[in-house]
Chains A and B, each alone.
Chain A
């Protein structure tokens, strides 16, 4: 038996095991805790990479828990899958890989960043629980488990946002996040209940096979759409995001970026894989496009006027999510129309998928750089900062790489995905591309503001004693900077090996459904 067949199970088991053991590491002191944090993070990153490589080589992987065998999707002659089923196609594997890289960088950064605080073993435990929930959302093949994993990652992230519980702002941010997130999760559960009551299944592939376009399905789609759009920070449901992202420890925010992308993944899985061409209305794609444009423009407009570095970058997260919603909305609009898909739809999808990976890498790095500024100066307020390029030259260079990438400055990767989105959205309506380009200009303006006020300018006496941040923090940032440089310098490779397979998997509804039902014949389910 090939052990790599169990990679989907390992992907969940490793962070879960890491989470349950983490509190015990207090017995071995700080060294053991840090070693465990790093080791488990490294292992799940390797597992994620192997899973991505395996899916790339062999196609979608089905993994069944609680059945007669791991590959029996339809056991005991059943016609529908009823077990806990994981389905990893190229889009899931892509999401898992980039989430793992962000989580690894966040963990590496947190080793030194969190050393000044007590109770870090609880932090490590919550961190791994959040990662396990995130991976679960990205590889699960059924909706009820999607809800369960959504809750696991959400509850763990509430605790992490409130980790600095001596700060009233952190508790307030966690409370607000908890309120809207729980409301959204309940709506996801209600949507699952609607579909279950109609079709008697919660399996995504089975639903995709039988779904029709009726009142129940429309209601469920509305609930899924708004709940998951809120979880990924679409305007006007974004207001929890600057609070939570700015208050969470920087390493957590880096991973939270990936967690919000898991919600975005869920949204696109619902729209493309479950409803797909059965969606008998252009209203939903247009709703996604409008949410995207609003998020891009409102997010960046709010970012420009922020004085706190974390909040400024967090508003940019809202804006960047807008680009992805625009790309996927245009792709969804073209779904079912072969000509439109060939003309601009698939380009928009590639832009959206490429922007997911770009955003996760550079936004993660920006939050880590913001954390490094806070670690070095003890301040989050840009008005208090200045001239730090002298004391933090390495942090400054890493920040510059991320800022140039997010602003879409040539030759960085941010421009490639934005170019694909500009050109394809222009084909739908020029005003969409205009909004996207204006957003890009304002993005550059706000990162120039951080760079100028924090790193440039005259040396401040109060920061004379500031020294460059410790090694693990620099290493965490470097992981993401290297990823940005690879994506920037090898855009064709990135598109061919990372982006296109994921975009193709997203629109290939038949392949996702067929992978589950094919195991009836090959796995011996019937």
Chain B
């Protein structure tokens, strides 16, 4: 029950990982304990730095929307994504068409 999982090529030991996270967590709390405790809450000292601009009251004006996530990745792979999204037409007959096409291809491979 507590053994390692042997994969035939290597192994997986969850308890080593747990020990690692415990040690890492302990180190994080240790380093955190060096932080200054004399800052004044509610003053400029705990204000968010927002490029020297006043911080908007509503978080809506601050947040990064999901559609902006991985912008660089999607821009770099734009041709790939244009093709991929283009295949997902949302048309029901296309769905059936893909199924028939795959069936025909597999049949061709196995029967001929």
A382 to B67: give the CA distance in the assembly, Å.
8
Assess the A179–B92 pair: CB atoms within 8 A. Answer: yes
A410 interface residue per 8 A CB criterion: yes
Assess the B110–A283 pair: CB atoms within 8 A. Answer: yes
A393 interface residue per 8 A CB criterion: no
A90 to B110: give the CA distance in the assembly, Å.
31
Assess the B59–A461 pair: CB atoms within 8 A. Answer: yes
Query: For this complex, into which size category does the number of interface residues on chain B fall?
Result: 35 or more
Query: For this complex, into which size category does the number of interface residues on chain A fall?
Result: 35 or more
Closest chain-B Cβ to A149's Cβ sits at a distance in Å of 21
List A residues 211-237 near B (Cβ within 8 Å).
Answer: 215, 218-219, 221-223, 225-226, 229-230, 236-237
List the one stretch of A42-50, A253-261, A300-308 in contact with chain B.
Answer: A300-308
B17 interface residue per 8 A CB criterion: yes
Q: Which residue of A lies closest to B2 (CB)?
A: A492
Highest count of chain B CB atoms <10 Å: which of A344, A410, A424, A459: A410
Assess the A488–B107 pair: CB atoms within 8 A. Answer: no
Q: Which residue of B lies closest to A236 (CB)?
A: B98
User: Given A175-B92, A218-B111, A453-B65 in contact, is the A423-B7 Cβ separation under 8 Å?
Assistant: yes
Assess the A187–B5 pair: CB atoms within 8 A. Answer: no
Assess the A492–B3 pair: CB atoms within 8 A. Answer: yes
List the one stretch of A32-40, A153-161, A412-420, A466-474 in contact with chain B.
Answer: A412-420
> Which 6 A-B pairs give the minimum distances between C-beta atoms?
A458-B59, A382-B66, A411-B17, A453-B66, A226-B103, A423-B9
A-B contact pairs, 12 of them (CB 8 A): A180-B92, A226-B99, A236-B102, A239-B98, A240-B95, A426-B9, A449-B66, A453-B63, A458-B59, A458-B62, A462-B60, A490-B1
Binding site for B on A (CB under 8 A): 175-176, 179-180, 183-184, 187, 215, 218-219, 221-223, 225-226, 229-230, 236-237, 239-240, 243, 281, 283-284, 287, 298, 301-302, 304-305, 307, 343-344, 347, 381-383, 385-387, 410-411, 415-416, 419-420, 423-424, 426-427, 445, 449-450, 452-453, 457-462, 488-493, 495
